[in-house]
Amino acid sequence: MKIYLALTVASLKMYFRNKQALFWALFFPLLIMIIFGMMNFNKYSSPNVGIYDAANNDASQALIEALKGNSDQKLLSVSTGTLDELHHELEFGSSRAVIEIPANYGIPGEFAEIKFIYDERFQQERAVIATILEKVTDAVFKEAAQVPDEYRVENTIGISDSVITGQGQGFKAWLIPGVAAMAIMQTGLFTVVFTLVRFKSQGVLRRLKATPIGAAHFLAGQLTTKAIVVVLQTYVLVIVGAVVLGVSVGGGRLGAWFDLSILALLGGALFIAIGLAVSGWAKNEETAAPIANIITMPMMFLSGVFFPLSVMPDWLTRWSQYLPLTYLADGMRAITVEGASITTLGGELIGLGVWISISFAIAIKMFRWE
């Protein structure tokens, strides 16, 4: 225990005296956060709308297709799902409105009332969606008007509005947990790889082997240090990010910070283990750097750190949803901006757990003193 404490304290001292490591751990992710946070990607995309189709018949399908527009003119980005899922998406900002198509839609002789629920904080988008909805239903109605007079009046479509005040905070809030997750990956992997590979190539590890301590002591000290660093780093990044970009974290729920710490520790453990495996394999810094980059670079772009997975082609997301960083970023985002808590996370925790087990198994096989 005493040996473990001594090694932990010493490696913490070494870490915090290393200005370069601090730059990559804190200032670089903050810089990215702020630069991307100033961009407004919403401007260029069609608004996201959740459509609940209770009718599920030819007429309702035709209406949904019409609302999507065609390849020449894209109107709405449509997602489907259960009513609860769609309302949750609206509440936490991943869509701007929910359109509910009633069960009697398209049945001759019945009055179908389409419900339109929107987030009152996004009036501009509400106007766009409402206009599209009116135009499309109007067109459908006019088509219906082609039929003989006796059916015309009976085939009526109405629209009823209702309003919610959502908690979604837009792209800025979406970005912060993703960048924090990326920073955990970078810290965990790179600081472990570079310190261990340097210690190995310089012979520091060999000198430790001449002492009575085992590898376990030394590694435990290293892991504790990095674990402390990733949790502190997550706090700093999320707090500074939230203050600078003006968003709230976890809807103001204090427990969200505890949940974030747990995720940061899990993510830290995961990427430290990957780092240990890489540094066991690599002989020197020259071989370690490209491997570390090959592992981290694709994840930076494929794991939904800077932009959502939904903008990527399906064949790619089919794979990238299983990446370690995807699980971490999704989990941290669910807690910071989507109102989830650690107990309501399911797939993310399982995904992280599986990756942690795989990585540690490889790390134990690969670690070498010299």
Partner 1 sequence: MTTAIDPVIVAKDLRKKYEDITAVNGISFEVRRGEVFGMLGPNGAGKTTTIEILEGMRDADSGDAIINGINVKDDPIAVKAMIGVQLQQNAFFDKLKLSEIVDLYAKLYLAKVDPVEILSRVGLDNRKNAQYAELSGGQKQRLSIAVALVNDPVVLFLDEPTTGLDPQARRQLWELVRKIQADGATIVLTTHYMEEAEELCDRIAVVENGEIIALDTPDALIDQLLSTGFKPEKRVREATLDDVFLNLTGHDLRD
Binding site for partner 1 (CB under 8 A): 2-3, 6-7, 10, 13-14, 17-18, 199, 202-204, 206-214
Look-up of token digits 């990215």: 32
Of the candidates 30, 161, 158, 177, which has an alpha carbon nearest to the alpha carbon of residue 92? Answer: 177
33 CB-side CA count, 13 A: 31
- For residue 231, the minimal CB distance to partner 1 (Å) is 21
Both structure tokens of 37:
């946070």
Provide the residue type at 137 as one letter.
T
Provide the residue type at 255 as one letter.
G
Is the Cβ of residue 122 or residue 194 nearer to partner 1 in the bound state? 194
Look-up of token digits 């490889």: 362
Torsion of CA 79, 347, 308, 328, to 10 degrees: 160
Both structure tokens of 197:
């590979």
- For residue 268, the minimal CB distance to partner 1 (Å) is 21
Is the Cβ of residue 213 or residue 289 nearer to partner 1 in the bound state? 213
- For residue 237, the minimal CB distance to partner 1 (Å) is 23
Is the Cβ of residue 123 or residue 211 nearer to partner 1 in the bound state? 211
Is the Cβ of residue 11 or residue 95 nearer to partner 1 in the bound state? 11
- For residue 310, the minimal CB distance to partner 1 (Å) is 44
How far, in Å, CA of 78 to CA of 50, rounded? 6
- For residue 207, the minimal CB distance to partner 1 (Å) is 6
- For residue 5, the minimal CB distance to partner 1 (Å) is 8
- For residue 15, the minimal CB distance to partner 1 (Å) is 8
In 269-279, which positions are buried (b, 16+ CB within 10 angstroms) versus exposed (e)?
A: bbbbbbbbbbb
How far, in Å, CA of 18 to CA of 35, rounded? 25
Is the Cβ of residue 7 or residue 114 nearer to partner 1 in the bound state? 7
Is the Cβ of residue 18 or residue 317 nearer to partner 1 in the bound state? 18
How far, in Å, CA of 321 to CA of 286, rounded? 31
Contact (CB, 8 A) for 79 and 50: yes
Is the Cβ of residue 19 or residue 43 nearer to partner 1 in the bound state? 19
How many CB atoms are located within 10 Å of the residue 178 CB? Answer: 27
Is the Cβ of residue 169 or residue 195 nearer to partner 1 in the bound state? 195
Measuring CA to CA, how many Å separate 104 from each of 60, 143, 161?
10, 18, 18
Both structure tokens of 22:
């601090």
